Amino acid sequence: MIIPAQGLRIVLAVRPVDFRCGHDALAGLVQNTLGLDPHSGLIVVFRSKRADRLKILLWDGTGLVLVYKRLGRDGRFEWPQISDGVMHLTRVQFEALFEGLNWKRVANGLSRRQLRRTDSDPTTCFARGFGMIACGCAAVPH
């Protein structure tokens, strides 16, 4: 789990990117396409064409850091509708997204403990291993 510092800006690049891109290519995309400064300390979350992967680019003060996450067991991240531009995320929304939970429910005032998957299929339960978060999947113990 990556926990960003309080007050850090977090943006989600809504349009999928080529996941063969590395640090420099993604930093160029942030600067040239999104119009943001990749060296300003903000966190930029990128989505793949598949909904099961994300990349996170951030500047930690000494260099660019790139994090890659792929969900297992046919898991899928919850993404907004594809469009141009960025979406701003809160820290709690970012944490829920990173864990594979439905981060959109956080915006409705639900706490992290109330976040639940809408299906009860144990093969798509993303909360396994996150005991403090109830997933609503009663099929298997967590």
Of 42, 32, 37, 34, nearest in space to 83 by CA:
34
Helices first, then strands: H and E counts in the chain: 2, 5
Rounded to two decimals, the pTM is 0.70
Query: Across the beta sheet with 43-47, what order do the strands follow?
Result: 64-70, 53-59, 43-47, 10-13, 86-89
Q: What is the pLDDT of residues 50-109, one digit of tens each?
A: 889 999 999 988 999 999 999 988 888 888 888 888 999 988 888 888 888 888 877 555
Would you state the structure tokens that stand for residue 36, as one six-digit string? 């943001």
The set of residues, in sequence order, having a beta carbon less than 8 Å from that of 32 and lying 6+ positions away, is: none
2-48 per-position pLDDT tens digit: 555 566 899 999 999 999 999 999 999 999 999 999 999 899 999 99
Looking at residue 2, its pLDDT comes to: 57
The span from the CA of 108 to the CA of 132, in Å, is 20
Q: Could you tell me the two tokens for 70?
A: 């792929």
pLDDT of residue 140: 33
